[in-house]
Structure 1
Amino acid sequence: MINNFHKYKKVLVIGAGSGRDIASSVLITEKLKKEGVVIDLAGFLTPWALHLFNGKLEKPINKLNSKTAKKFIITKENESLNSFFEPELIEINKKFKLGIRDIYLFSLQYGTNKLKVQLENLIKRKSYDLIIAVDVGGDILARKKDLGSIFTPIVDFSCLEILSKLKKPTAKVLSVVAPGVDGELNKKQLNEIFKEYKKDDLVLGNEIISKQGVEYQKFLNVYNEINLRTNSQSHTCKVIKKLVEEKSNFKEEYQKRLKIGKKTWVVRFPVELDKNISNRIFYFDLNKIKSTRMDINIKYSNILEAFHNLKKQGVGGTEVDLAYVPGKIKGGKYSDCKFILNPFSRVSIKQKENIINYGLLQVNKGKIKNLIIN
Structure 2
Amino acid sequence: MTTASVWTFFRAGLAVLALMPAAALALMPRASGAAPAPRDFSLVKTVPIGGPDKWDYLVYDAGDGRLLVAHGSEVTVLDGASGRIVGRIGGLKGVHGVALVPGLGRGFAANGGGATMFDTARLTPLASVPTAAGADAAVYDPASRHVFVMNGRARSITAIDPGRAAPLATVPFGGKPEFAVADGAGSLFVNREDQAEIVRLDTKGPRIAARWPLPGCVEPQGLALDAAHHWLFSGCSNEKLMVVDARTGHIIDTLPIGRVNDAVLFDARRGMVFTSNSDGTVSRIAETGAGGFAVLPPLRSEPGARTMAFDSRRGRLYLVTADLLPGRRHIRHGSVKVLFLDEARAARYTNRPMN
TM-score of the aligned structures, taking structure 1 as reference length: 0.26
Structure label with greater radius of gyration: 1
Structure with the largest fraction of strand: 2
Structure with the largest fraction of helix: 1
